[in-house]
């Protein structure tokens, strides 16, 4: 089965088109003002109309309120909502409210952190394992931090899951080999500086994924 690839934190038409044209299965739009990748609803809507139906539009949120989710789903025509730092109860509520596929992001540093994944079974449709960011960080992800992939060796879940955190063109093959993930997600790994995506790095990452 081919490995699916999500390019997250897209903010321009050129980089969005590059991701789609090079075979990304998912494109991510961030709705979190502290992030350098944050989009307004209007910006997200303008980008969303460029996305063909076979590519999933993922909205990325940090414990959002109902109004934010509702408008983002509508304006950006989201296929998936990806929730960070959100309780299982809120995840279940937002999933019911929107009727949209819902992923719970799980921040990982140690094996014990994987226990959090079990708490969202029944609340979310899927999991995204991301690196736990340093204490005091304002962002829950997108900082180029990776965790010990061996923690996922032999991991099984009733939910489908993907891998994020510090992935780039040079290490994605190793990451897939060590974790057996079916979905890889990158943001800072295809940027020149935080929030500024590189068309060339997007192309290189997706080429590496296609070769797996």
Q: Answer yes or no: 17 catalytic.
A: no
C-alpha 201/C-alpha 180 separation (Å) is 23
CB atoms within 10 A of CB 194: 15
What's phi and psi for 101, nearest 5 deg?
Answer: -50, 135
Q: Residues 63, 125, 130, 200: which is the catalytic one?
A: 130
- Please, what is the angle between helix 41-48 and helix 66-75, to 10°? 30
In 3-state terms the chain splits into helix, strand, coil percentages (rounded to 5) of 35, 25, 40
C-alpha 16/C-alpha 200 separation (Å) is 12
Residue of 211, 210, 187 whose CA lies nearest to 15:
187
Q: Residues 8, 75, 168, 185: which is the catalytic one?
A: 8
Q: Answer yes or no: 113 catalytic.
A: no
* Catalytically active residues, by annotation: 8, 130
């Amino acid at each position: 089965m081919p490995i699916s690839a999500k390019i997250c934190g897209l903010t321009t038409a050129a980089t969005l088109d590059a991701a789609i044209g090079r075979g990304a299965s998912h494109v991510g739009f961030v709705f979190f003002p502290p992030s350098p990748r944050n989009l307004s609803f209007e910006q997200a809507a303008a980008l969303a109309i460029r996305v063909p139906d076979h590519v999933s539009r993922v909205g990325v949120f940090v414990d959002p309120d109902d109004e934010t989710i509702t408008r983002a789903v509508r304006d950006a025509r989201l296929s998936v909502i990806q929730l960070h730092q959100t309780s299982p109860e809120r995840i279940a509520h937002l999933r019911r409210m929107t009727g949209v596929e819902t992923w719970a992001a799980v921040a990982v540093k140690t094996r014990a952190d994987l226990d959090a994944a079990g708490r969202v079974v029944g609340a979310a449709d899927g999991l995204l394992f991301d690196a736990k960011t340093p204490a005091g960080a304002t962002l829950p992800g997108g900082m180029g931090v990776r965790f010990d992939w061996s923690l996922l060796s032999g991991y099984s879940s009733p939910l489908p899951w993907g891998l994020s955190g510090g992935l780039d063109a040079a290490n994605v093959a190793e990451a897939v080999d060590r974790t057996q993930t079916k979905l890889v997600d990158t943001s800072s790994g295809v940027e020149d500086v935080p929030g500024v995506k590189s068309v060339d790095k997007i192309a290189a990452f997706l080429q590496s994924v296609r070769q797996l």
